[in-house]
Amino acid sequence: MLSWETAIEMLARRGSLGGVGMTIGHRMMTVTAGEGPDDPAQLMDGGAHAVDMKKHSGSKLGASGMAEVFRRFP
């Protein structure tokens, strides 16, 4: 998995504020923060995250993933 490379690339992306990765039992979770709700889509434009997603698409690991975007309303 390309977790470290993805985290480093994320820091250079527009609107990225930071992130944290954690393991709880056998589950892995990543929580990231950005300035806008469209910022996470940049990770699929190329780089390590896109490569890792294509590699695990259809596998047990890829089948158990999920993504959510939470918005702060004024």
SS3 22: strand
Mean pLDDT of 2-24: 83
Question: pTM for the complete prediction?
Answer: 0.60
SS3 32: strand
Residue 4 token pair: 């470290």
pLDDT digits (tens, 9 = 90+) for 14-53: 888 888 888 888 877 778 888 888 887 787 788 887 887 7
Among residues 65, 49, 43, the alpha carbon closest in space to that of 3 is found at: 49
